Amino acid sequence: MPIEFATVPHPDEIARADALRRHGLLLKPVGSLGKLEDLGAWIAACQGQSPPRPLKRTRVVVFAGDHGIAAKGVSAYKPEVTRQLLAAARSGGGALNVLADVAGAGLRVEDIAVDSAEDGEFKVRRGSGSIDVEDALTADEAEAAVRAGMRLADAEVDSGADLLVPADLGVGVTTPASTLVAALTGTEPVAVIGRGSGIDDNGWMRKAVAVRDALRRARPALSDPVELLRTAGGADLAAMAGFLAQAAVRRTPVLLDGLASAAAALVAEELAPGSRSWWLATHRSTEPAQVLALDHLDLEPVVDLGVRLGGGAGATAVLPLLTASARLLTEMTTFDQVPLPE
């Protein structure tokens, strides 16, 4: 049965306008809080009310997966490092764990396609195919992965999440992510390749060749986003795309992080047009493909932290700014509340 998404609703532009109007009444120079004012208005639009409710249940969801292309030397790390990263995230020892704790966000870690014998409710397969010479997934696996992401979004929203952050975890993920961006933006391989995990010049050249070959295979699938994910994506990226699209259908704002989430967002916008109005680009990555994807989606990053990869780190670091932007609208005093001294 083909995957179909419900029509994506529009955020409430009246609430956005009212939030911006309210900023003009607060006890401060007009426009003096810059992007914080726009962030608060975005939250108000997503919630459909001004002033917005305080953010109380933000959730970071990690999509872990391996990629066959990692065996071709496109990463500075060996494929088995994915399992180390997964163990660290589950034990609380990863960078994302620390940042989520600081931001007061809950963290959920799901094995979508890690190359291990471990099974799970949302696991699709053990590693995705090497996209330079084979498909990432079968047709059934691609559909299962997108539906897994949809179910994860529904589960989080049904549990009361008011803001979501998808995060990637897996060695080699920037190669299929770069391929998806190149395919959907009509960009040549050399223009999307970054240093990823910290590859040297030889690694960069291997990655460029891998993306070139994968892109050649991906181009015939451009008209069908699920087919594109099957051919040149991966189970984790497919699940993330389904998650992003379904969150928009469910009127839930999402923070985009690095290259993987940006690539998944490009596909999600194809799956459910209009989804991008529910997303906020949190930071500018050093990966050129991420910048291209965000430009294509007409999303402007909030900050530039020099974060190379992502894995949720940049988005989670920005979470306190979102929390503050909502509270400014609800807790600041207005000019009318403080009369001028005589």
Annotated catalytic residues are 311
Joined tokens for residue 188: 């040549």
Cα-based distances in Å from 82 to 38, 41, 75, 86: 37, 38, 12, 6
Buried b (16+ CB within 10 A) or exposed e, 142-152: bbbbbbbbbbb
- Share in percent of the chain as helix, strand, coil (round to 5): 50, 10, 40
221: Cβ–Cβ under 8 A, 6 or more apart, which residues?
Answer: 227, 228, 230, 231, 232
Question: Nearest to residue 278, comparing CAs of 298, 254, 307?
Answer: 254
- Closest residue by Cα to residue 215 from 176, 267, 179: 179
Q: What's the rounded Cα separation, in Å, for the pair 189 and 208?
A: 6
Q: Would you say 128 and 137 are in contact if contact means Cβ atoms under 8 Å apart?
A: yes
Please give the order of strands across the beta sheet that includes 254-256.
106-113, 58-65, 163-169, 254-256, 279-281
Task: Mention every residue, 6+ apart, whose C-beta is less than 8 A from residue 131.
Answer: 67, 68, 69, 175, 176, 179, 210, 214, 217, 218, 231, 232, 233, 234
Q: Is the dihedral of CA 189, 191, 195, 199 positive or negative?
A: positive
Distance CA(272)–CA(207), nearest Å, equals 30
Please state, in angstroms and rounded to a whole number, the distance separating the CA atoms of residues 77 and 62. Answer: 19
Separation between Cα atoms, residue 49 and residue 232, nearest integer Å: 40
139: number of Cβ within 10 Å: 11
